[in-house]
Chains A and B, each alone.
Chain A
């Protein structure tokens, strides 16, 4: 108890420890490359496209079909241990030629490493990419959001449906560059479609917590769900 409390300032290692301090003066391009990138290039040469270092972070470009395999390796291998999926998202450039890019952010907490996987999905054909849900179950909602906003289909996702917009949303995928800011329909039509949802029939039998509590639900909700209503929206 007599140990004095040492203040650790942001960007500095704790006094007496060898933990790496936050890097200063990071170059835009170039710098130390994440060693995982080399190992991906060796093991998955047929999926590996290129790797680059931007602002100190390593971007690894992969072919879309190999993403799940690479992610599984990064997660399972004892020398990698990427145990945290930070984000799954996509980027569409304002260009008719450039492909839509899928982006996965992975972090290895034991090794203090960060890697960004990218995968180009060419325009003009269905945007399909394997889901990383079998490896990281936290990808569930991230991929649903990505599907909702960009229309990218994640193969192998257990429950791919809209998450931010309501399920009957018919106007398309809002974050695509060809989507008008105010939506495709007139305001009155948008409002009319939004008001046709039933806010009380929000839950479906597939949601386990509701199935468990089925007997405790109000009678009208029980009747509705027992009648085979799936999502209610």
Chain B
């Protein structure tokens, strides 16, 4: 209801004009089926979204149905980084390091308004969206999102995983941050998207 229909990711179409062979597409399907069905999350919970995430993992909503019951608290055995909650600037290098320590293939779910955009915390201490630090695959809106919302995001990620093709050579490229600024997105763009109301320097509201 209200959502645009998405192409069916469970069926792989054989496209003779493309370079992919029948065997490759079938193998893709098998590998992607295996990956999508056993995503191991690395929970990065910093705020109330983490409570909803715990509820999703508990028996009523039961993430185990998605093959995700094994929370990986070591990034080296994780597939999905689920960032649940606001990320202060002090944690920015930590989440960047955790992302870099995860082996490929890896995906990121940004759970909740604060992780996706800074949410209501438009202040000096909070990162305005973790996509300014690490690449994000799925954004789950909500403050915090209910477990159903997170599961919808997880299912979207599963469909994204199922659509991956081995013939795509750029799929597993690690993004290299810009060496001068250490950012993935160029600084002017970050300023543009994170400051809809003008330069922060002019945001003094105390009248002093």
**Residues of A that sit less than 8 Å from B by CB:** 94, 96, 164-166, 171, 174, 177-192, 194-200
A189-B187, A190-B89, A192-B181 given; name 14 further pairs at CB < 8 Å. A174-B125, A177-B208, A178-B204, A182-B122, A182-B124, A183-B124, A185-B201, A186-B195, A187-B128, A187-B132, A191-B92, A195-B92, A195-B93, A196-B182
Q: Would you call B127 and A177 a contact (CB within 8 A)?
A: no
B201 touches which of A164, A184, A188, A199 (Cβ 8 Å)? A184
A180–B208 Cα distance when bound, in Å, is 10
- Which residue of B is nearest A190, CB measured? B89
Asked if B206 is at the interface of the complex by the 8 Å CB criterion, the answer is: yes
Q: Output the least CB separation between B2 and chain A (Å).
A: 33
With A181-B123, A183-B124, A186-B195 known as contacts, the answer to whether A191 contacts B203 (CB < 8 A) is no
Tell me the B residues contacting A by CB distance below 8 Å: 89-90, 92-94, 96-97, 122-125, 127-128, 132-133, 181-183, 187-188, 190-191, 194-195, 199-208
Q: Is the pair B90, A165 in contact by a Cβ cutoff of 8 Å?
A: yes
- Chain A residues with CB under 8 Å of B203's CB are 180-182
In the complex, chain A residues whose CB is within 8 Å of the CB of B204:
178, 180-181
A176–chain B nearest beta-carbon distance, Å: 9
- Say whether B182 contacts A188, CB under 8 Å: no
Contact B191 A186 (CB under 8 A): yes
A178 touches B206 (CB 8 A): yes
Q: Which of A164, A171, A182, A191 contacts B190 (CB 8 A)?
A: A191
Partner of B124, one of A181, A196, A197: A181
Q: A94-B208, A180-B201, A188-B181 are in contact. Are A194 and B191 (CB under 8 A)?
A: no
- Given the interface pairs A96-B208, A182-B122, the reply to whether A192 lies near B90 with Cβ below 8 Å is no
Is the CB–CB distance between B124 and A199 below 8 Å? no
Once the chains bind, are A192 and B187 in contact (CB under 8 Å)? yes
Given A171-B124, A179-B124, A187 contacting B195 (CB threshold 8 A): yes
Pairs of residues from A and B, 5 with the lowest C-beta to C-beta distance, nearest first: A188-B187, A183-B124, A182-B200, A194-B89, A187-B194
Contact for B93 among A174, A186, A188, A197, CB less than 8 A: A197
Question: When chains A and B are docked, how far (Å) is the Cα of A171 from the Cα of B125?
Answer: 11
Shortest CB-to-CB span from B159 to chain A, Å, is: 31
